[in-house]
Amino acid sequence: MKYGRSALIGAVLCCIGAQGAFAATRSVQLSKVVLDPKIPAASQHIKVGTICLFSSKPLDFGASERTINYERFERPFSAVMQKRGFNAIAKSSNLFDDGDNATKPDFLIGATLNPKSIDICDSINGIKGTVVVSVEWQIYDRTRQEVVEKLITRGTGQLEKFANDGLTKMIDDGFAASLTALIDQGVLEKYLGPPAP
């Protein structure tokens, strides 16, 4: 079967364009999330009761920095990155990692999460309100074996209705919003390449 010259050139350019768009985005993986628990009591406004009338003592996030459950943040990290067209590799999705995984990412991202302000109501129906978090991001280039960028962004998690896991959800949403703010700065494209359309 013979093809017209223009049709053949068009098909080749189409394939090159599609492969180029995919290959341009290097892979990334969330490496670690650390909680920095320091938050002034004055930045916490805690109410209790179903009508949020009575004040309560500030939340206790602990006294020292510590690593937070990885999988809790990997899912929103991967979801946000993939939605925005970046090639995010989810570590927890590999149930048979033998330590010699061919899909090792080009870049690793570490995050230190710090609650900045908390305005919540705690009742028998759960928790609602607003939590603002600050996240310090570190981008690690595995080829160069060094941290190539450090940035800080903020994000807000908000719940208008009581939920049993309300505080967890607000912190997770604040983390995702901080990641969105990082992407919006355009810094990731410098290392990962342009996102897929």
As a whole number of angstroms, the distance between CA 162 and CA 141 comes to 41
pLDDT over threshold 80, residue 119: yes
Structure tokens at 160: 């208008």
Residue 80 pLDDT > 60: yes
- Is residue 185 a part of any domain in this protein? yes
Per-residue pLDDT of 32-77, as tens digits, reads 999 999 999 999 999 999 899 999 999 999 989 999 987 899 999 9
Is 9 within the bounds of a domain? no
* pLDDT for position 71: 87
Q: What pLDDT is attached to residue 197?
A: 81
Report yes or no on 8 lying in a domain: no
In a domain, 173, yes or no: yes
Query: Is residue 39 domain-resident?
Result: yes
| Of 68-77, 85-94, 114-123, 161-170, the least confident | 85-94
CB atoms within 10 A of CB 192: 23
- Please, are residues 52 and 123 in contact by the beta-carbon 8 Å criterion? yes
- Residue 43 within a domain: yes
Residue 28 burial (10 A CB sphere; 0-12, 13-18, 19+): buried
The total domain count for the chain is 1
pLDDT at 93 (0 to 100): 59
Q: What sign does the dihedral 6-7-9-14 (CA atoms) show?
A: positive
Range of the domain at 87: 27-192
* 20 within a domain of the structure (yes/no): no
Q: Are 146 and 140 in contact (CB under 8 A)?
A: yes
Q: 22 in a domain, yes or no?
A: no
For a pLDDT cut of 70, what percent of the chain falls above it?
82
Residue 70: give its domain's CATH number: 3.30.160
